[in-house]
Amino acid sequence: MPAIRGADSKKKTRRGTRGLDQIHADVASKKHLQQHLDTHAPEDLPGFGQHYCVQCAKFFESQMNLEKHTKGKPHKRRLRQLKDEPYSQKEAEAAAGLTTDNGRKEVRESEMVDVVDGVDGVS
């Protein structure tokens, strides 16, 4: 749902959600996750940021709340969503027909030779 105060307003609120692609990077790399956590002051977070669900990008008041959450439906739904790899820029380009298939390099070189020959014929 588009936010009334513009696309960025969701990021600025407490309820702002983290994108699935970002969470994918969080799960894959501790450093990426730490960078995200470093943007928050522990005293501003529920439970001082001690109880964090990486997959849902959510903080919880206590370990018990976190455990309850990991057994719940929203968390399991999120795990299912995260099973699919996020779309990469490369996939988007491939869908638009812009392939970078290095295996076809030889074909391209012969095409280039043809083009050069054509130019020679004109001059």
* Min separation Cβ 66 and Zn ion, Å: 8
The answer to whether residue 56 forms part of the interface with Zn ion (CB under 5 A) is yes
Q: Which residue has the tokens 């501003």?
A: 44
Among 20, 45, 53, 82, binds Zn ion (CB under 5 A): 53
* b/e sequence 49-64, b meaning 16+ C-beta within 10 Å: eebbbebbbbbbeeee
Cβ closer to Zn ion: 15 or 105? 15
Size of the site for Zn ion (CB under 5 A): 4
Cα distances from 4 to residues 7, 11, 36, 64, 104, in angstroms, run 8, 13, 25, 35, 47
Work out whether 24 is an interface residue with Zn ion (CB under 5 A): no
18 in contact with Zn ion (CB under 5 A): no
DSSP element (H, E) containing 66:
helix 63-71
Q: Residue 78 CB, nearest distance to Zn ion (Å)?
A: 6
CA 26, 30, 31 angle in degrees (round to 5)? 95
| Among residues 22, 45, 75, 86, the one that binds Zn ion under rule CB under 5 A | 75
- Enumerate binding residues for Zn ion (CB under 5 A): 53, 55-56, 75
